[in-house]
Amino acid sequence: MPSEPKAVVGSEPKATVPAESEASGGRDVVGAVLKACTLLGHFSADRPTWMLNDLTVASGMNKTTVFRLMATLVQAGWVDRTEEGAYRVAMPVFEIGSAALAKLDIRSAAKPFMTELATAFGNTAYLMVPAEQGAVCIDLLEGRNSLVVAGINVGSVMPYHAAAGPTVMLAHSDALRDKWIARGLSAITDRTITDVGVLVEHLDEIREVGYSVSNSDYLPGVAAVAAPVLGRDGSVVASISVGGRAEEFEGDALAAKIEKVCDAGARITRIVQALPRG
């Protein structure tokens, strides 16, 4: 029987990067361009058009600044004005997006969101995909905290009934659920769910709320939060998660991680669903 994976806590924190290098980019960053990109970032499939006043409120910028930046984007051909005076993104934005999507896969699509999660919380971000034998970790990004999870690496195959990333995929796939439960549920730790009825109830709850939270059911002292990534047909194609010390996944800290992981899962889902077929 394989030995139980262990969580190893390092003795020294990792070196930090100066804030200027991480955030501002120094004098190389053009503020007006950055603000214009921020304004474009408010346009989405859920909100394809914006009136000036609404965009001003949403961006938190000065109204005159928003007006001038949007007028510049209109002049450049990146934004159009509707008959009602609303702004909407123009065809060049879609052409650039299509070119980017043509070379994109799920790993590269998820990487910016993994970086954002690891930076925001200092925990390790994981990307997993479903496979016949279990959930496969295809990418991970360590945060600044000193927890090293020795049992989870790129290529690791994990049981579906333990840990947040695997269980959130199991919860969103009836086919996976039927096959996996039929195999029997082995205990990885003393907190692993091994009762079929309890697991089914747990998976139903995960599916209803849209995310999974685990605590010491795969690695003692390690907790995680995961959200699903769904394909065009609603099938689960991956999960994105963050994991770390269990004490860092409580109260307000846990709520913040749930919100941000769910947002990442939803945004990656939109990207994946826009990828070209084939």
Structure confidence at residue 8 (pLDDT): 42
Q: Distance (Å, rounded) from C-alpha 244 to C-alpha 267?
A: 23
pLDDT in the model for residue 28: 66
pLDDT tens, position by position, for the chain (278 residues)?
444 444 444 433 333 333 333 344 556 667 888 898 889 888 876 788 899 999 999 999 999 999 999 999 998 888 888 888 899 888 666 556 555 444 457 888 899 999 999 999 999 999 999 988 889 998 899 888 756 556 688 888 899 999 999 999 999 999 998 889 888 889 999 999 999 999 999 999 999 999 999 999 999 999 999 999 998 888 898 999 999 999 999 999 999 999 999 999 999 998 888 766 65
Closest listed residue to residue 168, CA positions, set 205, 132, 212, 201: 212
pLDDT of residue 9: 40
Q: How far from 249 is each of 135, 192, 196, 205, 216, CA to CA, in Å? A: 22, 18, 26, 19, 11
pLDDT of amino acid 33: 86
Kindly list the structural domains of the chain, giving each domain's residue range(s) and its CATH number in brackets, ordered by start.
21-102 (1.10.10.10), 104-274 (3.30.450.40)
Provide the whole-model pTM.
Answer: 0.65
Alpha-carbon distance of 164 to 149, in angstroms, equals: 14
Q: What is the pLDDT of residue 45?
A: 65
What residues pair up with 222 in beta bridges, in sequence order? 245
Alpha-carbon gap, residue 123 to 133, rounded angstroms: 26
In this prediction, residue 32 carries a pLDDT of 84
Q: How far apart are CA 225 and CA 202, in angstroms?
A: 14
Q: How far apart are the first and last CA of the chain?
A: 41
Gap between the Cα atoms of 150 and 65, Å rounded: 50
Task: Give me the pLDDT at residue 143, please.
Answer: 84
